[in-house]
Amino acid sequence: MNTLLDPALLFFVLGVFAGLLKSNLEVPAPLSRFLSLYLLMALGLKGGFALAQTGFSSSIATALACAVLLAVLVPLLDVQWLKRRLAPHDAWAVAATYGSVSAVTFVTATHILESAGTPAGGYMAAAMALMESPALIIAIAAAHAVRRQTAGGVQTVSIGAGGSATLGGGAPHHSLAPVLREAFTDGGTLLLLGALAIGLLTGSSGAAAMKPFTGDLFKGLLAFFLLDMGLLTARQLGGLRSQPLSLFAYALIAPLLHALLALTLARLAGVKQADGTLLAVLAASASYIAVPAVLRHAMPEAKASVYVGLSLGVTFPFNLIVGIPLYRAMAEAFGLPG
Task: Identify which has the larger pLDDT, 32 or 152.
Answer: 32
- CA dihedral (9, 14, 17, 18) in degrees, to 10, reads -140
Choice among 119-128, 136-145, 160-169 with the minimum mean pLDDT: 160-169
pLDDT digits (tens, 9 = 90+) for 166-200: 444 444 445 566 656 666 666 777 888 899 899 99
Indicate if the pLDDT at residue 331 is higher than 90. yes
The pLDDT, as a whole number, for residue 171 is 44
Amino acid at 294: V
**Whether the predicted model's global pTM rises above the 0.85 cut:** no
- Cβ 306 vs Cβ 152: under 8 Å: no
Average pLDDT of the residues of the chain: 85
Task: Identify which has the larger pLDDT, 184 or 319.
Answer: 319
The pLDDT, as a whole number, for residue 264 is 97
Domain ranges of the chain: 7-333
What percent of the chain clears pLDDT 90, i.e. is strictly above it? 47
Print the SS3 string covering the chain.
CCCCCCHHHHHHHHHHHHHHCCCCCCCCHHHHHHHHHHHHHHHHHHHHHHHHHHCCCHHHHHHHHHHHHHHHHHHHHHHHHHCCCCCHHHHHHHHHHHHCCCHHHHHHHHHHHHHCCCCCCCCHHHHHHHCCCHHHHHHHHHHHHHHHHCCCCCEEEECCCCCEEEECCCCCCCCHHHHHHHHHCCHHHHHHHHHHHHHHHHHHHHHHHCHHHHCHHHHHHHHHHHHHHHHHHHHHHHHHCCCCHHHHHHHHHHHHHHHHHHHHHHHHHCCCHHHHHHHHHHHHCCCCCHHHHHHHHHCCCCCHHHHHHHHHHHHHHHHHHHHHHHHHHHHHHCCCCC
- As a whole number of angstroms, the distance between CA 29 and CA 184 comes to 24
Please give the average per-residue pLDDT across 235-255, as a whole number.
88
What percent of the chain clears pLDDT 70, i.e. is strictly above it? 88
The pLDDT, as a whole number, for residue 283 is 97
The pLDDT, as a whole number, for residue 216 is 80
Q: Indicate the pLDDT class of residue 298, thresholds 50, 70 and 90.
A: confident
The pLDDT, as a whole number, for residue 262 is 97
Indicate if the pLDDT at residue 164 is higher than 50. no
The pLDDT, as a whole number, for residue 211 is 87
pLDDT digits (tens, 9 = 90+) for 93-129: 999 999 999 989 999 999 999 888 999 988 898 898 8
Task: Identify which has the larger pLDDT, 335 or 280.
Answer: 280
CATH fit for domain 7-333, picks 3.40.50.300, 1.20.1530.20, 3.20.20.370, 1.10.3720.10: 1.20.1530.20
